[in-house]
Amino acid sequence: MQIANRLGKIPPYLFMELRNKINNAKAEGIDVISLAVGDPVDPTPQPVIDELSRTAADPENHRYPTDEEKGMLAFREAVADWYAARYNVHVDPEDEVLGLIGSKEGCHHFILAVVNPGETVLMTDPGYPAYRASILMAEGEPYNVPITAENNFLPELENIPSDVAKRASGMFLNYPNNPTGATATPEFFADVVAFANSYDIAICHDNPYSEVVFDGLKPLSFLSTPGAKDVGVELNSLSKPFNMTGWRIGMALGNTDLIGGMAQVKENTDSGIFNAIQYAGIVALTQCQSNIGEMLEVYSRRRQRILDTFGRLNWGDYTPPKGTFYLWMPTPNGMSSIDFATRIFEEAAVVITAGSAYGDYGEGYFRVALTVPDDRLDEALDRIKKAL
């Protein structure tokens, strides 16, 4: 059997390759510690679990989900209330909120709703690999916009060639940024709105790390920018703030036309989110705000341990990013990303992510995640110190 040509354009998914690498090593009896994948090991708040258990026992919730194309209205109302309280963003839960099976699916629905075959979609380099895959599956043309340390890992919009911008129908942005951890500013988002208006580009701001910010930084939504709802949507997720990665529940908010188009894609793709999970999501949004602060304390502690370790190794000048539960760090002595990641794996049995996996401009960097238990992190850092 032959598969569609479009799939041949998509590189292997980074994290599937990492899982295979880890599993192969474990099969050989090697104790591997992975600092590569951002999957919180800390449990989901107990009230969320209790609500899932309670509502899953109700036979009414065993049927197709309520309002399957957009998510149940009660969940969308909770999302709207949370955004109003956290970001001073006001949306109509009827027409400007869409429930998602995680924000990752929202990326795909955005592309299918906006992009015609052959049209250009802008994305940052380095950037989250799933954006490129969605663009290619829709037979769009990804265009890499460099982000570098010199500009705080923000794209220089004025350097995007005007002929490219005129061909573009969509753009992915992601701040706090995966993989760099960089954060955006209100001024930058204002420039994005002006840029989108100038070239009639739909913006998809992927914001699942909105709450994971350090050093007193205030969480920020693209939709808090004047005019943002006119040009785009924002994706978010319960995965990071409430340790619910496996629950697969998120949301899209913003422009009515874009939300409507994404809902049309979704209703022809799946049958919605299990009602019990949506009820549990409501509890997370309305009762579990304290979990965010608790997790930030955990991540801050782990973050400092990593910084202290590499500082003692005379890593050189390094300013840590202020967002996400990752650290994006330069490789030592000009080593390539792959060579450094391979050395750490072979000599320490620790998995880190080579920056080049995120694009050409990721070369010379590596990424480590803070989502491992403290004792395993300490063990990983001890092994790395011995290896280096």
Residues 107-159 pLDDT 10s: 999 999 999 999 999 999 999 999 999 999 999 999 999 999 999 999 999 99
Confidence band of 181 (pLDDT split at 50, 70, 90): very high
Residue 16 has pLDDT above 70, yes or no: no
* Count of other CB atoms within 10 angstroms of residue 335: 15
- Closest by CA to 159, choosing from 130, 131, 124, 126, is 124
**Distance of alpha carbon 125 from alpha carbon 131, whole angstroms:** 11
In a 3-state reduction of DSSP, which class is residue 250?
strand
CATH of the domain at 363: 3.90.1150.10
Confidence band of 9 (pLDDT split at 50, 70, 90): confident
Q: Flag the least confident range among 43-47, 64-68, 159-163, 222-226.
A: 64-68
Domain that holds residue 53: 46-287
**Distance of alpha carbon 86 from alpha carbon 82, whole angstroms:** 6
**Distance of alpha carbon 317 from alpha carbon 225, whole angstroms:** 34
Tell me phi and psi for residue 365, to 5 degrees: -130, 165
Residues 270-300 pLDDT 10s: 999 999 999 999 999 999 999 999 999 999 9
Residue 18 has pLDDT above 70, yes or no: no
Are residues 367 and 325 both part of a single domain? Answer: yes
Residue 7 has pLDDT above 90, yes or no: no
CATH of the domain at 193: 3.40.640.10
Structural domain count of the chain: 2
Residue 340 has pLDDT above 70, yes or no: yes
Residue 388 has pLDDT above 90, yes or no: no
Are residues 52 and 70 both part of a single domain? Answer: yes
Are residues 35 and 62 both part of a single domain? Answer: no
- Closest by CA to 207, choosing from 251, 258, 272, is 251
Q: What is the pLDDT of residue 68?
A: 73
Q: Strand 168-173 vs strand 202-206: parallel, antiparallel, or unpaired? A: parallel
3-state helix, strand and coil shares in percent for the chain, rounded to the nearest 5: 50, 15, 35
- From 259, 287, 315, the end of a domain falls on 287
Are residues 188 and 127 both part of a single domain? Answer: yes
Q: Flag the least confident range among 25-29, 108-112, 126-130, 191-195.
A: 25-29
Are residues 252 and 327 both part of a single domain? Answer: no
Are residues 189 and 53 both part of a single domain? Answer: yes
- From 287, 320, 347, the end of a domain falls on 287
- Closest by CA to 366, choosing from 349, 350, 379, 382, is 350
**Distance of alpha carbon 54 from alpha carbon 249, whole angstroms:** 18
8 A C-beta contact, residue 236 and residue 208: yes
